[in-house]
Structure 1
Amino acid sequence: MWNPSTRRCRPRTSKTSVGCTRISCDFFIFSLGFEPDYHGVPRGLFLVSMIEVTETRLDVDEIRNSMRDPRAGAVTVFEGCARDHHGGRAVSSLAYEAFGPMARAELTRIREAAMARFDLLGCAIHHRTGEVPLTEAAVVVACAAAHRGPTFEAVAWIMDRVKESVPVWKKEAYRDGDAAWVEGEARRP
C-alpha cells in the first residue's frame, strides 16, 4: 500500500499456488522464486507491471500468471486482438500511438477505480503501441477476484473506460493501400 507521508510503498506479501513469494505494491507485482511452466519446469524469476504501455508483444500468459492468488476463485483475461476487417473493409495491419505518461496515468486511475468498484484482488492493464500484426493482442486486461461475476463485469467496464479516455490512437492500413485513423467502437449492451 502507498504511504503518502513517507512517499513509499509498503508491500504486501503472499504465497502463490506454486510456492513463489508474491510481493505486490499497487502498480507492480514481483514474483520471487521459480515459477514453473505447465510441465513443472522452473522458468525463473519475473516481474510484471500492473500498468504497461509498450511497443513489445504482450505476454498474455505472464499477465494471467501475475493474477494468481490463493484468495482468487476467478481470473478473467480479455485480449483485444488485431483483426483483418473493420467497417466492411479488409485490414492489412494496425498501428497504435499513445502519449505514454498520460496513458499510464489514465490506466492507473482506471485500475484503481476498478479495484475498488469490483472488490478485485488483482488487476493488470497492458496496451501495445506501434505496429500490431493481425491476430496479436493490442490490449490485455486481467482481473482476479474471489468470484467470477466481478471479474467479468470489471473487464468489460475497464475496456469501456479505456476506449473512452485513454490517449491511445489506432491507425488501420487497408489492403487497397489506403489508411485511416479510427475511433474505438462502444460496446453494444
Structure 2
Amino acid sequence: MEYYKITSEEIDVNDVVSSVVHPEAGAVNTFIGTVREFTGHKQTVSLQYEAYPSMAEKQLQRIGSEINNRWPGVKTSIVHRTGKLAISDIAVVIAVASPHRAESYEASRYAIERIKEIVPIWKKEYWVDGEEWIGDQLEQTSYPTGRPEEES
C-alpha cells in the first residue's frame, strides 16, 4: 500500500520500502535524503524543516499520481520529516517499485525534483556562522526525461 506522509518522527526506511514491494516489481529503488555537513564552503550544524502537512501530503500524492501516469505499474511512497535534524539524519525517503530498473531510477529522480518544486516544505539551514531559510517551491527544475505536462 503506497503512502505519502509528513512526520516529525524518525523515518523507518524499511516501512517505506515494504509499502511498495509487490509481486510484479523487479526493481525497488530507494532514495534517502540526509542532512549533509557542508553546502559549498558553508558548514551546516543542523536543519529545520517546516511544512503545511495536509497540503504537503496532497502534493506528495499528486507526485505519486504523476509517476503512476507516466510509468504505469510503478508504486511509490514518499515520507518527509519535519523538525530539527542533525547531520546525517534522514530527511526524506522515497521508495519506488517497478517491473524494470530504468523506471524505478527515473521515477525516483522525478519524485525528489518535484518535491523541491511543488511541496510546501521549507528548510532553514543553521551554519556555524549564521542561519537562513532556503528554497522556493517556485524554483524551476530541469528534468532529464521531461515533465508529464509536456508530453502529448
TM-score by length of 1: 0.70
CA distance in 2, matches of 1:93, 1:188: 29
CA RMSD of aligned residues (A): 1.8
Q: Counterpart amino acid of 1:136?
A: D
- 2:77 matched to which residue of 1? 124
Correspondence 1:137-152 to 2 at 5 A: 137-152=90-105
Q: How many residues are paired up?
A: 141
For the pair 1:163 / 2:116, whether they are aligned, the reply is: yes
What is the correspondence of 1:71-150 to structure 2 with a 5 Å cutoff? 71-150=24-103
Contact 1:114/1:120 (<8 A) preserved: no
Do residues 183 (structure 1) and 142 (structure 2) align? no
The higher-RCO structure (CA 8 Å, 6+ apart) is 2
2:10 partner SS: coil
**Secondary structure in 1 aligned to 2:59?**
helix
Following TM superposition, the consecutive aligned residue runs of length 4 or more in structure 1 with deviations greater than 4 angstroms are: 184-189
Distance 1:110 1:188 in 2: 14
Cα distance in 2, alignment partners of residues 187 and 139 from structure 1: 20
TM-score, normalising length: structure 2? 0.86
Q: Which protein has the larger Cα radius of gyration, Structure 1 or Structure 2?
A: 1
Q: Following the alignment from structure 2 to structure 1, what is the Cα–Cα distance between the partners of residues 61 and 4? A: 7
Match of 1:41 in 2: none
Secondary structure at the counterpart of residue 110 of structure 1: helix
2:18 to 65, 74, 93: 65
**Structure 1 contact 119–150 (Cα < 8 Å) conserved:** no
Deviation string, structure 1 residues 53-90 (Cα, Å, up to 9, x no partner): 01001111221122221110000000111000113100
Q: Work out the CA distance in 2 between the residues paired with 1:73 and 1:110.
A: 22
Identity of aligned residues (%): 36
Higher helix share: 2
